[in-house]
Each structure stands twice: as structure tokens, then as C-alpha cells.
Chain A
Amino acid sequence: MSTTTNSKKPIKELDAATVRFCGDSGDGMQLAGTQLTNTSALIGNDIATFPDFPAEIRAPRGTRAGVSGFQIHFASREIFTPGDSVDALVAMNPAALVTNLSDLVDGGILIVNKDSFTEKEFKLAAIDANPLEDGSISGFQVFEVEMTKLTRLAVAETGLSGRDADRCRNFFAMGLVFWLYNRPLDPTLRFIESKFSSKPDVAEANRSALHAGYNYGETTEAFHSHFRVDKATLQPGQYRNMMGNQALAWGLVTASVQSGCDLFYGTYPITPASDILHELSRHKSFGVRTFQAEDEIAAVTATIGAAFAGSMGVTASSGPGIALKGEAMGLAVMTELPMIVVNVQRGGPSTGLPTKTEQADLFQAIFGRNGECPMPVIAARSPADCFDVAIEAWRIATQFMIPVMVLTDGYIANGSEPWKLPNVADLPKINVKYANALQNGDEFQPYARDEYLARPWAVPGTPGLMHRIGGLEKQHITGNVSYDPLNHQKMTDIRAQKIANVAQTIPAQEVNGVEQGKVLLLSWGGTFGSCNTATNRLKEQGASVAHAHLRHLYPFPSNLGELLKQYDTVLIPELNNGQLRTLIRSEFLVDAQGLNKVQGKPFAVSEIVEAVEEILAN
């Protein structure tokens, strides 16, 4: 697969490596990371990624606020996280260096664009001394590369100069990293070909810069050797690289096909959920209707209208938008219409940290509506898992005639991992039944119920089923407005029982590790990767530990209470102040411990390992 000449330098075998590109928002670091990701996936590594970018589109150039980074972990074994620390850091300017250096392992590889280490840049980055000279990088293998100069030289023939030439620097950096980890250039060359097909000079310049970076690694004396990370032994099959938001969108499209029910997606743009809209709006040939509403309230209420009309209504947002949807979710609960509400969580409260991750909307998901207003809540654990979770949400929503809340977060929404393509023939069918027209004389009962307590989905256009629904309390069976006290009690109980019934249709909770023992790690959502990796590491050390990761948060799997009792200590790591822990304590009277962090960053595996070790030591 390689277009590159065989290297004459020695190659060292590694089983995994973590690389981070960082630079100014305008330096194309996300692109560099994505290319390294795709290339690594294509050659068969397992991968996990962590893009980390500022909320501002173009924060002032050269400042710390404007630093954008992309971390990728690739391995010849199965991995679940983008890595706690970085083996190789590429820093395009001083601001990127000083804000990222602390994540580089001792003795790690540091590649800097030497040309940007000027007095002017130091001032922009608010640093007093040149970090290349003040001793702060002495513990690393440093490669000071004149990237600006070398890139300009490399692209000179294409006629590009100055700023245009400098835009190719990320390709130079990519080329160098590709050499360093012995990756083929073909996938990136193909990308350049298709992306810049209308700008042949830019395409040529990027190609030249990429090759120049690669050749620089091979020829310069500074680099004595490079590395190889072999294929991982993944399950046989066909794979692609998948991001969380894309997986969620594809899961919805798939569920639409598998249920024979049209998808209506109403939303209002918000980070980090917008990419679901961008993705779904491309899939019109699946009959997907996307509606960019005037606000989140319109998005969710249009979704209710579509659900009433017989489509599966889906809406997504992040915390602030979910807050706006609260009243309407109550209407969906009251009218008992199938819907999916997705919250791609971000740091809160209020506008919070729009581009950073957090898990602090669990209470909002379960309790954030007026009245007794239960909704099933499920959460995705990784980018590819969003696909399965979307299908599961669709299944619950239609089987029980109920809005379902799906939680993901910025970390898994923008992160990526290899996804094994499902065999289309093996995909589950979702059985959706609409109410049929009645014979003349029969009376339609919109709030009659089946064995799951679901009411019929009677869609406009069906003769004989004309009925009225709304937010006022409904009389049992007839669905007429009712203010009767006992009826309100009954309907409240039915709505609660209906949600409780969901637990009968979900698998028992499984654990990774001992079935009885000292510590159970209990987690949900995007912390899966860190918890799972920590568990495996602890198991290797012979620790008495197990890990249970919850997909279903409301209701919980039926066996959870029993399961929790099998361990001396339950430790719940969460990127919030202990929301699942509060639920577990109140539901099961278990004295669960918390490991909590709200820094806009995922857990490092080591943080979890240390927390468990501390419990084991006491």
C-alpha cells in the first residue's frame, strides 16, 4: 500500500502509540489528525481519537485560546481510549507547545515548527522566555524543524507563496509523522486528489508538502530511527472509521429502514450536536426529512407534530437546548407519541464549555420536566456504539409509544473508532404497527392499551380513527379530557408502569471481571473506554475487580440491585459531581463511592486505576 521508498533507517516495533497534533485553529490540525486516523485505521490498527478544539472559530492567532489539538491512539491490540498521555507531540507554535507539553510522556518525541518560535509569537502566547531555550523541554527528544521554510521551499514550484504556501504546513507535519510511524501516504494522497480537485495548484502544493515532510524524516540526520505499529487482531470483517455523531445518524437511518417508518429530524444548530443534522440532511434518498427550526422549542414541537402524523420524530441538542425542550417533552409523554430526544452533552451549566465534554445532564434527562414525567434514558458508550443506541432508542419508543432520551457527549460525538460494518441481512427488524381503520360503528379508543401498556398509533389519514390528543390529562381508554382525581392517579401510575416495563425488554447487566469481589466499577456513557481499560489493567495485576457499564439508565436493568451487592465497594467514576451515584444510592441503598471530575476532559485510565488501588489498599 505504500508509495514511499523503502526506508534505510532502523525500525522499532511498538504495540501502540499516541500522537497529538496541536497548533493554531487555522493550522489545520483537525485535518492532520483525521488523516492520520484514517490511514492508521486503513492499515488495520485499532484506533481511538480525541479532537479538542476551542469554542471560538478563529480565536486571535497565536494565542493560547486559539490552540486546537487532535490526539490519536493507534495500536496493534484492542484499545478503548485515545490515551492518557502522548508519545509524540507536534506543536506548530509556542502557544500550542506550552498548553500541551504537560501531556507528553517523559522522554517523548517533541516536534516543533522552529520558524514560529519568534519574539512576536512569544508575546501572543504570553510567555516570557523561549521555551526551546529555557530548559522546559529538556526531558524530551526534541526535533526543531524549520517547517515554514521547508514547506515554502517544497511548494515553490507550484507558484504558491507566502500565506498560501504556509497553509500546506500541516501536510508537511503529517508527512513527517507518517514517516515516523511508517504509515503509507496513499490514503492522504487520495484525499488531496478528491478534496482539491477544483484547485490543481493547491492539490499539487499539498502533495509536495506531504512528500517533503516524509522525505525530511528519512534524510535528515536528526531522526535516527522510526517506528512500526502492526495491525491489530480485530474480529474479521469489513471496517470503517466512525465518528459518534455520524454513527448516531446512521443508526437512525438504519432504524428507519428496519421499521419501515419515516424519519423526521427537527433541530436547531448547537455544538456538539450539529453534525447529526449535517449528516442526516445528506440522506434524503432514505426519505429523511430534516427541519432546521427557528429554535429548540420549535424543533421539538415540530418533531411531536411529525410523530403525531406517523413519522418517527427525532430531535437533538445539547444541554442548553434540552432545557428549552422540557415543556414539550412533557407533551410527548402526555400524548404518548414515539420520539427520540438526543442530548450530546457538553460542559455546563448555561453555555458552559461548548466544545468540551461532561456527563452532567443525567439528572436533567431523568428529572428535568414538570410533573411526574418519566422517560426512558439510555446512553452510548463509544463513537460506534451510538449506532446501536439509536436503534435501541427507536425500538423502545415505538414498542412503548413513548419519547426516549439518548445521552451521548462531546467526547464520543467527535471521537472516532473502527466500526465493523453490520451484515444488513442480520440487522434487527423493528416491528411498528399503526392502528388500522375501523369498521363503521366501532368506536376508536385512543388510550386503550396493549400488553406493554402502549396506546395505538393512529395517524391522520386513517378513516374512522379521528381523535384529539393534547397536554391536558386524558381519561383512561377514551382519551377525553379528564380532571377526575382518581383518573389522574391512574394515568400517572400507568405512565410510570409503562416506563418500568421497559426493563423487561432489556438484557441483564453484565460485568467484565469477577462475579463477586472487592470493587465494582460502575459507569455509564463516554467513560466506558477509560473504565474498561483500567479494569483490564487491574485484572492483569490480579486485583479483585469488575466493571459494569450501563447503557440503560432509566429504568435500570432488572438485575442491577442484586449485582451491586456482590461487591464490597461500588465505585462510580463520572464526569459530574455524582449524579449516577445519587441515583444508585437512592434506588438500591448502596453506599456507592464516587470518582468525580468536571474539567471538560475525559478520565485518564491511570486516574481510575489509582482510585481502585487506593480502595483495595484500605
Chain B
Amino acid sequence: MSSDTSLPVLKSTDFASDQDVRWCPGCGDYSILAQMKKVLPQIGVPREDTVFVSGIGCSSRFPYYMNTYGIHSIHGRAPAVATGVKCARPELFVWVITGDGDALSIGGNHLMHAIRRNLDINIVLFNNQIYGLTKGQYSPTSPLGKITKSTPFGSVDNPVYPLSVAIGCEATFVARSIDVHIKHLGETLKRAAEHKGTAFVEVYQNCNVFNDGAFNYATDRNTKQDTVIEIEHGKPLIFGKDRNKGIRLNGMDPEIVELGKGISEDDLLFHDEKAPEPSLAYLLSRMRYPEFPEPIGVFRAVERPVYDERMDNQIADAIEKRGKGDLEALFTSGETWKVEAESA
């Protein structure tokens, strides 16, 4: 994953494939694509060492638009495909692009296991709270009561929250960003790329055709300072247009407090993305609009052993201890016997 300084410096356009992008005009996916193309040259991994893997959905068309290696697989299975790529070739720089349905409905099982194995891959979940490609059914992240094509009377399903799921699966890196918050999104993708282990990033993505405005509260210029809180490692949780509001712990629960009036920054909750236990990250992942501002940024970033590296090490160990495999030795291992040629 290291950059080779002797190579010509690439521009974001070098990462664009020759294919026409086919998302609906105005779709949030464009912005994520743009940030990815912008960030990859900064990371510096050669294009040929980069692989994008996706499942099925609007979001999963992503690999076709990148001038890297790519595989647009089948619905829900991208984390498993990526596992095979990464295990076979741990030196590759592997991204998984998935949607809320792809990752959390049909692919929930694979998402869970890729995360807990802690492969050195980056998973970006485009959360538009809807099934885009199949034209507008509710998804596992759609809010209760959501009226869609398949729920004319409102959905009766309880939603899941992607980051809470990831944390429950022992994720070592968990972050959230927003499609139109481009600077923050770029930074977040970069942090994910730099993390060793599975980096899980949820991006709030507007589907302007089937679920327009689902994240208006978080993107509206007039309200976003009060509805979103940018968290940073080692810093207190402060938000609001006048940066006069903060999050404090009341026992085990977060509460909103106003700064001043006897409450200082020191009384607030300080973010610690490196906390060994994921309790704080989980607490943050449960803060939801409208009760709370929704946190964006890196929730958790801890170092843990990496699956593909461990697999590689076992092979290296075996070769060191026993020597490179030899067929003759394999065939003659254990009990064998000889049949002599019949003497005349």
C-alpha cells in the first residue's frame, strides 16, 4: 500500500474509466465518486494495485466508473468476494462499495463476518434508506412508518443503524460522513484507507428519485450545525451555530447541555476513537436526530490483528518450518508399500 515516489503523480481524472456514468442526475452517488477519485491520488497506491468490489444496487455500479481493477458481483456478496481477493493477494488495496439493502438485507451475514475477521479492506456503505435500483421499496435502514411502493400504509419494520451493527461485529474502524459534505467525506475516506483492518464507512446519500430529502435535516445549510456534530479524537463534543451546545454524560446516557451557565468544556464528553472498548463508539452511534445531533467523523479506530496477514503468516511459517511443499514427500508420507515386478 505504500506509494512509489518515482511514479508520475496521478490526478483525479486518471482514476476515471471511459464509461458513461449512469446514475440519475442529482444522485448523491456522484459526489461520493468525485471524492473517491480525488482522494485516491493523494493516497498514492497505483491504480493497478487497487480493486473495487461491489454487490448489486445503484451504488454498486461504482466500480465501472473507476479506472482500477473492479468486480461488480452479485447482490449482497461483495464483502465475501473482497475476502477472496484480499486473502489471495494481501498486497492489494481493496474497497467494497455497497448499499443499505445490499449490505444489511441480503448481505448482512457477509458484512458481519468480513468486519469481525478484520480483513484489511475498506467498506463504504451508501445509505439512502431505500432500494434505489429496484425503484423505491423500503430498506433495512428506512425509518419505521416509511411510506414507499411496497409499504403504502407505512413500514412496520424496525430499522437497523449501520454503525451500531458494525460496532457489534467488532469493527476496528467505524466512521460516518455525508455525500454533500465533500471535504469531510474526502477526509473520512482517506482515514479509512489509512486504517489497517476493516474500515467501515457509512455515507448518508441522497436518492433524489425515490427518497429525496431523507437527510435534509443533516444537509440543510440552516439546520445542519444543530443537527450534526463533527466528532474529533481528543476533543469535546460541541455543536450548534454558535458552538455553544455540547454533549455531556449523565450516568450512562448522553444529554445536550448549553455551555456557559456553570458548564464548561471540561464537563463535556471527550471523544476517544482509540478506546479499547467500543462502548463510547456505540453510544455515539445511537445518537439520532431529532433527539440529538447525529455524529459524523471517525467513531472508532483501533489496531487489531488482520485476517489476511494472519493467513499469510501461517503459510510463511509452514514453509519456514517444513520447507516449500514437495510432491514426492507428500506422496510418500505415511505408510506405503512396494509391489515388485513379477520375476519370470
Please report A residues at the B interface, Cβ cutoff 8 Å. Answer: 38, 41-44, 187, 231, 233-241, 250, 253-254, 257, 262, 264, 266, 283-289, 291, 293-295, 297-299, 301-311, 313, 327-328, 330-331, 335, 421-422, 424, 427, 459-472, 480-481
Contact = CB atoms under 8 A, between A and B. Distances in A.
B317 to A, nearest CB: 8
Given A42-B335, A264-B84, A291-B311, 12 more contacts: A238-B336, A240-B336, A283-B325, A285-B325, A301-B74, A305-B83, A308-B51, A309-B84, A310-B89, A424-B331, A461-B89, A468-B72
Most A CB atoms within 10 A — which of B50, B321, B339? Answer: B339
Contacts of A427: 327
B325 A335 contact: no
B77 interface: yes
Given A301-B74, A468-B72, A471-B73, A462 B109 contact: no
Contacts of A285: 315, 318-319, 321-325
A236 B340 CA distance: 5
A427 B328 CA distance: 11
B13 to A, nearest CB: 14
A303 to B, nearest CB: 6
6 contacts: A240-B335, A285-B322, A289-B315, A308-B84, A421-B336, A462-B48
Given A253-B325, A466-B48, A284 B83 contact: no
Nearest to B321: A285
B200 interface: no
Contacts of B85: 305-306, 308-309, 460
B315 A264 contact: no
B337 A41 contact: yes
Interface string B246-268: 00000000000000000000000
A304 B73 contact: yes
Given A240-B335, A250-B330, A303 B325 contact: no
A278 B338 CA distance: 28
Interface of A is mostly: mixed
A121 B71 CA distance: 61
Contacts of A236: 339-342
B315 A284 contact: yes
B80 A293 contact: yes
Interface stretch (B61-69, B204-212, B214-222, B273-281): B61-69
A339 to B, nearest CB: 10
Contacts of A239: 336-339
Contacts of A472: 72
B191 interface: no
A304 B81 contact: yes
Point out which of A284, A299, A427 has the most chain B C-beta atoms below 10 A from its C-beta: A284
A289 B339 contact: no
Q: Among A306, A310, A427, which residue has the most Cβ atoms of chain B within 10 A?
A: A306
B49 interface: yes
B237 interface: no
Interface in B88-126: 88-89, 91-92, 109-110, 112-113
Contacts of A42: 335, 337
A422 B331 contact: yes
Contacts of B92: 309, 460-461
A447 to B, nearest CB: 14
A303 B88 CA distance: 9
Interface string B14-54: 00010100000000000000000000000000111111110
Contacts of B341: 236
B314 interface: yes
Contacts of B83: 291, 293, 298, 302, 305
Nearest to B318: A284
B215 to A, nearest CB: 29
